[in-house]
């Protein structure tokens, strides 16, 4: 078996114990087969009643603790998790399945492979529902963004969505064009002065990874239309994709000068 990076993974014929190092993948497996999860990071907040061993964060997992859980498979992500941690888990003899996602089609394919191959589970109905939800957007086409936007994901320093991001692809499908989509970096640092002079029609402020709120973020863009959106629906790929189009369209439509 090979994961999204093309790396060989020895997936057991029967998978009974899984550790997830990625919040969206934790939610994904919990929606398919919650009994398989034995460990997850402290950032894995969905489902809210998830009762598993917490094994640190996405960037600093407890490798020894994970090994002690004896998982059949460890789920990870190329940009969420650090290579040295994944190498240490592999060196301990664990099967590590790494996902890589840059856009919606990749996300749907990655999820399907992870669920059916890495976790040995049947294809879930919600995955087709997610695909259908995005396919049937009214009046929106991939890349047809009518609103030019900047999408900060951090402040102190300011960072924005750049090229080849999953979130940027979702926004494009909702009619929002990322002004930094052609940047050479995926998450570039940009001075606030440059953002203010970018000519953006809209500033999109998700609540993760930085938690932008009505009182933390919009004030930096006086006179600009800002939209506070759900980071889970914009950046996670999993069951949330089924409701993400409706949630994000509603939040984008509520954009205003604050």
Domains of the chain by residue range: 18-123, 138-257
Judge whether residue 143 has pLDDT over 80: no
Under a CB-based contact definition with an 8 Å cutoff, are residues 158 and 190 in contact?
A: yes
pLDDT at 142: 43
SS3 call for 39: strand
CATH class assigned to 138-257: alpha beta
Token representation of residue 116: 């059916």
The pTM of the whole model exceeds 0.85: yes
Which residue is it, tokens 């960072």?
Answer: 159
The CATH code of the domain at 18-123 is 3.40.50.1980
pLDDT, tens digit (0-9, with 9 covering 90-100), for 109-139: 999 999 999 999 999 999 999 999 999 775 4
- What's the pLDDT band for 146 if we cut at 50, 70, 90? confident
Do 18-123 and 138-257 have matching folds? yes
pLDDT, tens digit (0-9, with 9 covering 90-100), for 29-78: 999 998 999 999 999 999 999 999 999 999 999 999 999 999 999 999 99
């Amino acid at each position: 078996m090979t994961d999204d990076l093309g790396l060989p993974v020895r997936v057991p014929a029967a998978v009974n114990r899984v550790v997830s190092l990625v919040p969206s993948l934790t939610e994904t497996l919990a929606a398919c087969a919650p009994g398989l999860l034995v460990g997850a990071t402290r950032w894995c907040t969905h489902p809210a009643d998830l009762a598993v061993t917490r094994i640190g964060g996405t960037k600093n997992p407890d490798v020894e603790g994970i090994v002690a859980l004896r998982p059949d498979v460890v789920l990870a992500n190329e940009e969420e998790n650090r290579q040295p941690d994944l190498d240490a888990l592999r060196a301990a003899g664990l099967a590590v399945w790494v996902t890589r996602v840059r856009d919606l089609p990749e996300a749907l394919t990655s999820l399907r492979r992870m669920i059916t191959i890495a976790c040995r589970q049947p294809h879930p109905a919600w995955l087709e529902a997610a695909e259908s939800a995005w396919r049937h957007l009214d009046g929106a086409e991939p890349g047809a963004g009518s609103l030019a936007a900047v999408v900060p994901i951090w402040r102190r320093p300011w960072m924005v969505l750049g090229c080849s991001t999953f979130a940027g692809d979702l926004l494009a499908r909702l009619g929002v064009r990322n002004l930094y989509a052609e940047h050479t970096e995926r998450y570039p640092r940009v001075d606030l002065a440059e953002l203010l002079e970018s000519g953006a029609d809209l500033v999109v402020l998700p609540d993760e990874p930085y938690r932008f709120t009505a009182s933390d973020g919009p004030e930096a863009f006086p006179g600009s239309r800002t939209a506070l959106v759900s980071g889970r629906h914009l950046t996670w790929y999993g069951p949330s994709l089924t409701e993400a189009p409706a949630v994000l369209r509603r939040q984008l439509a509520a954009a205003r000068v604050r």
